[in-house]
Amino acid sequence: MRDRLGVYPGSFDPITNGHVDIVQRSLAIFDRVIIGVLEHPKKVGMFTPAERVALIRETFGDDPRIQVQSFTGLLVEFVRGLGGGGVIRGLRAVQDFEYEFQMTMMNRRLAPDVDTVFFMTDEQHFYIASSTIKEVARHGGDIAGLVPEPVAQALARKVQQEQS
């Protein structure tokens, strides 16, 4: 029987509990999930790609069903390089749908053999965005319960470095 692989791409700068929820729920459909940390050559994040990969690995521990890799270039080429699989995406609101619909249609045009599966974000996470988390952390707000504990600690260190 063939292994069902799901690829969950994103910048994950940083990973949030909304992302974690999507990964955990996707394991009901996929045997394995590879979290693909996209490296944007022209985009500087709060965390380097290597730091994001490390934080995600720390978040999921030794679960053999979850792997983390960084990638550059086209998502469909990354998926094909892994031997195929489905793309996992989360939807929070209508704005997400429009963007994700366009990306899915382009991916389908480039690689008809790569399908996308959408997960509606759980109601307790629908307002969480990495950019919002970073802003709240920079202003001393409470992010407990919004990100995994290793991420909360890393954010505190980054904010302290920025303010030094």
* Residue 131 annotated among the catalytic residues of the structure: no
Element (H, E) at 19: helix 17-26
Kindly name the residue from 65, 92, 138, 158 that is annotated as catalytic: 92
The mean pLDDT of the chain is: 92
**2, 42, 43, 139: which one is catalytic?**
43
For residues 49 and 82, the answer to whether their CB atoms sit within 8 Å is no
CATH number of 5-126: 3.40.50.620
Q: Is 92 considered catalytic here?
A: yes
Looking at per-residue pLDDT, the higher value among 42 and 30 belongs to 30
User: What was the pLDDT predicted at 2?
Assistant: 64
* Among 26, 52, 130, 134, the one annotated catalytic: 130
Rounded to two decimals, the pTM is 0.93
pLDDT band at 40 (very low <50, low <70, confident <90, very high): confident
Domain ranges for the chain: 5-126
The Cα–Cα gap between 81 and 67 comes to 15
Mark out the alpha helices in 71-124 (DSSP H runs).
75-81, 94-110
The yes-or-no answer on residue 89 being catalytic is no
Helix, strand, coil share (%) of the chain residues, nearest 5: 45, 20, 40
Q: Which residues contact 59 (CB under 8 A, 6 or more apart)?
A: 15, 20, 148, 150, 151
| Mean pLDDT in residue range 96-118 | 93
pLDDT, average across residues 119-134: 88
Q: What is the pLDDT of residue 43?
A: 79
**Catalytic residue check, 130:** yes
